[in-house]
């Protein structure tokens, strides 16, 4: 019998599209002349609702995922409260910013941007930092990130950016990573993204903890007082635990060892009573001041250096309660940039203008209709009444026969409020045009400011990050084009990256002269900031039978008084026998809790203890990896022998973060505590003698 040749029939071929050689059009086939800019009133005026092209583009984009969020899909949240330090009535009439005795409830959701709900926490990415204030005047959503700028200037380009950074469409790879062709193709052609890319390639993109990162409102907003006077404002969140990062090698290993690292860290801190805190800070400035800056305050790819406008801390936020139901609260919470209260208003930032529309549209799709505000997590804590009716998932039952205004049947209730929300009175004039303001066209000065503000160690990390990401790009022309972009930021940066990519150094040309009054800004460097509190840092204790209990207890007592947690790791769970015969409980098996999940290491003495650890490959690797990731290490008495066995210098060196000695019962805990407060000793990255 003849064998039939099998052939797969492409049943979808009639539906496949190929835009090669075709004009750009709307979904209705209307040719598009400008796909770069929203329609606005004047170069720096507000975006116009009649812009059917941007509305169609963003509407389609907002509805691309059901029900998972298109961006910020992976997140975790917590409840808490906010309290202002002193009345802010000079600048705003917002009620929650007036009375220090009032605690305003909040719900905060942290998130990554690019990955799906199933991706890992520690990927290199922007982190969302969204705060919902349940105020007495309605809900206010401050929807921000852990970086103060963004990739694009106009909402028209937001779908393009997200499409580029998402996994490659043909194979959905790589997940939650920007290290691929489409992202770098887009940013190398869209140079307004250069400043944000510098932040993304810095250690800001791999935070140690969600509790140890800053938050920013990104856009310029307005505060409006009772007299109608407006003041420009930039919002900041400053963590009391300081700003700290992971090492890149460490972040990658954590993604495999504990993909829920940040989620678990936040949950456990709150459950233990170590409530995370941030201070709300503002940069306040007038329109006259804004006119003196050499950048446009409406450009979301720009920040305002703190040397130009100091940051004032005006209140604090405490997260003190975990959700009871992840889906009902963290997953169903709906943030919207348009949710403001009297006393807070928008500016004509073209990205913000698009977000005001986009977020609401997204929630309509993701949560099934217009009544998402009636879900418990989204419901205002104050009364809300209007004539809106019906729709999917409607919960209130109408008790009166009218749903219109004016009416006489119900006494015209609900009625307008004389002191309700009033938009800031701003004069707007200009021709309707699709245009990018001239003041938006400089893309490299603040990127250079950011890089120049970093320490040598931070710059080295940024160079390695660019080299890592671009080495994953398969198309040579994209790598070359991106190096050319970096040359406009810093010649050394471009030359180093080019060399790592095997490109000719000649492609890295000297950057043009930049128009900037400030060459460096201390606030842009993580390592130039105060270290913050040490509470909730986790220190691993390697131990076996015969561990020096006296030294261990002395270290636990001293560090515990400052909120530092010591966790005993051993080959097996259960308990160990100490030098005094007492039982020492084991917290974790060394096989399930690697060094990357801790902030430091302590090795107590005891001859039998160290003999067992020195014979353990797992213990030796633990020490070496801790050293490689530049974390503080302490060893007392015989514990120093394990460091030597691991090829780690055992000589006491506080500057290098390795503290040792025979005074484990006296002075060593205090010295070790000082080392922990430093978080990392990045200088150790230059030591090549220690394998890991």
Alpha-carbon span 333 to 134, nearest angstrom:
13
| Residue 341 and residue 95 in contact, taking contact as beta carbons nearer than 8 Å | yes
* Catalytic site includes residue 679: no
Task: Supply the DSSP symbol for 4.
Answer: P
Query: 40 exposed, middle or buried (CB, 10 Å; 0-12, 13-18, 19+)?
Result: buried
211 contact partners, CB below 8 Å, separation of at least 6: 239, 241, 265, 266, 269, 276, 536
User: Residues 6 or more apart from 605 whose CB is under 8 A from it?
Assistant: 547, 548, 551, 635, 636, 637, 638, 639, 664
Is 647 in the active site? Answer: no
Q: Going by DSSP bridges, is the β-strand pair 600-603/538-542 parallel, antiparallel, or unpaired?
A: parallel
Structure tokens given for 143:
């929807």
Q: Give the separation between CA 136 and CA 404, rounded to whole angstroms.
A: 25
DSSP result, 484-528: HHHHTT-HHHHHHHHHHTT--GGGSPPPPPP--S-S--GGG-STT
Task: Give the integer Cα–Cα distance in Å for 234 and 246.
Answer: 27
Residue 32's closest CA among 15, 19, 43? 19
Nearest to 547 by CA among 623, 620, 637, 616: 637
Spatial separation of the C-alpha atoms in residues 64 and 419, rounded to whole Å: 39
Longest dimension (CA), the chain: 94
CA-closest candidate to residue 246, choices 262, 234, 270, 267: 262
Question: Dihedral of the CA atoms 171, 53, 346, 438 (nearest 10)?
Answer: 90
* Candidates 37, 139, 145, 146; catalytic one: 145
Of these residues, 37, 72, 244, 262, which one is catalytic? 72
Structure tokens at 510: 């000297």
Which of 288, 232, 291, 281 is CA-nearest to residue 92?
232
Tell how far CA 482 is from the center of its chain.
24
* The total number of residues written for the chain in this structure: 692
Write out the catalytic residue numbers.
Answer: 72, 145
């Amino acid at each position: 019998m003849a064998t039939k040749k099998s052939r797969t029939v492409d049943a979808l071929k009639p539906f496949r599209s190929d835009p090669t050689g075709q004009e750009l059009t709307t979904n209705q086939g209307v040719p598009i002349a400008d796909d770069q800019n929203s329609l606005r009133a004047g170069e720096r005026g507000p975006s116009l609702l009649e812009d059917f092209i941007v509305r169609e583009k963003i509407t389609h984009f907002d509805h691309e995922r059901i029900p998972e969020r298109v961006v910020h899909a992976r997140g975790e949240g917590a409840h808490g409260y906010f309290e202002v330090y002193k009345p802010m009535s000079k600048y705003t009439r917002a009620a929650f910013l007036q009375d220090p005795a009032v605690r305003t409830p909040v719900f905060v959701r942290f998130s990554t941007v690019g990955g799906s709900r199933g991706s890992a926490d520690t990927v290199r990415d922007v982190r969302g930092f969204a705060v919902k204030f349940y105020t007495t005047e309605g809900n206010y959503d401050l929807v921000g990130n852990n970086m103060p700028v963004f990739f694009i200037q106009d909402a028209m380009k937001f779908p393009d950016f997200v499409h580029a950074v998402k996994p490659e469409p043909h194979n959905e790879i790589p997940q939650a990573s920007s290290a691929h062709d489409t992202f770098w193709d887009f940013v190398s052609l869209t140079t307004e993204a250069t400043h944000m890319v510098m932040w993304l390639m810095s250690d800001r993109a791999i935070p140690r903890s969600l509790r140890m990162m800053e938050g920013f409102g990104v856009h310029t907003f307005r505060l409006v007082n009772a007299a109608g006077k407006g003041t420009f404002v930039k919002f900041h969140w400053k963590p009391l635990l300081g700003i700290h990062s992971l090492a890149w090698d460490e972040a990658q290993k954590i993604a495999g060892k504990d993909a829920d690292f940040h989620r678990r860290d936040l949950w456990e801190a709150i459950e233990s009573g170590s409530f995370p805190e941030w201070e709300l800070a503002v940069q306040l400035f007038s329109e006259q001041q804004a006119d003196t800056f050499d950048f446009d305050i409406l450009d979301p790819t720009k920040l305002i250096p703190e040397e130009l406008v100091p940051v004032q801390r005006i209140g604090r936020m405490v997260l003190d309660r975990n959700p009871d139901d992840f889906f009902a609260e963290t997953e169903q919470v709906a943030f919207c940039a348009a949710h403001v209260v009297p006393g807070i208003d928008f500016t004509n930032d073209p990205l913000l203008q698009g977000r005001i529309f986009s977020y609401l549209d997204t929630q309509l799709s993701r949560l099934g209709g217009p009544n998402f505000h009636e879900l418990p997590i989204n419901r205002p804590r104050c009364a809300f009444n209007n004539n809106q009716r019906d729709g999917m998932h409607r919960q209130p039952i109408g008790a009166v026969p009218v749903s219109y205004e004016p009416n006489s049947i119900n006494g015209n209730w609900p009625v307008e409020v004389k002191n309700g929300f009033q938009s800031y009175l701003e004069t707007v004039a200009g021709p309707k045009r699709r245009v990018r303001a001239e003041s938006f066209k400089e893309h490299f000065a603040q990127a250079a400011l950011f890089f120049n503000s970093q320490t040598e160690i931070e710059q080295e990390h940024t160079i390695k990050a660019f080299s890592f990401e671009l080495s994953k790009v398969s198309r040579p022309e994209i790598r070359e084009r991106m190096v050319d972009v970096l040359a406009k930021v810093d010649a050394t940066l471009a030359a180093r990256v080019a060399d790592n990519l095997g490109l000719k150094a000649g492609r890295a040309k000297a950057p043009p002269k930049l128009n900037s009054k400030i060459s460096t800004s201390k606030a842009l460097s993580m390592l130039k900031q105060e270290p913050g509190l040490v509470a909730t840092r986790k220190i691993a204790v390697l131990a076996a039978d015969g561990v020096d209990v006296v030294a261990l207890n002395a270290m636990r007592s001293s560090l515990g008084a400052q909120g530092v947690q010591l966790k005993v790791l051993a080959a097996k769970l259960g308990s160990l026998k100490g030098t005094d015969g007492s039982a020492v409980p084991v917290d974790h098996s060394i096989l399930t809790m690697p060094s990357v999940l801790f902030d430091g290491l302590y090795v107590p003495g005891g001859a039998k203890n160290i003999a067992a650890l020195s014979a353990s490959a797992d213990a030796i690797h633990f020490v070496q990896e801790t050293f490689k990731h530049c974390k503080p290490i302490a060893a007392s008495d015989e514990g120093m022998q394990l460091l030597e066995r691991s090829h780690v210098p055992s000589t006491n060196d506080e500057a290098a973060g390795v503290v040792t000695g025979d005074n484990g019962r006296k002075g060593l805990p205090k010295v070790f505590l000082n080392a922990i407060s430093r978080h990392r000793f990045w200088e150790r990255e230059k030591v090549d003698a220690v394998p890991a």
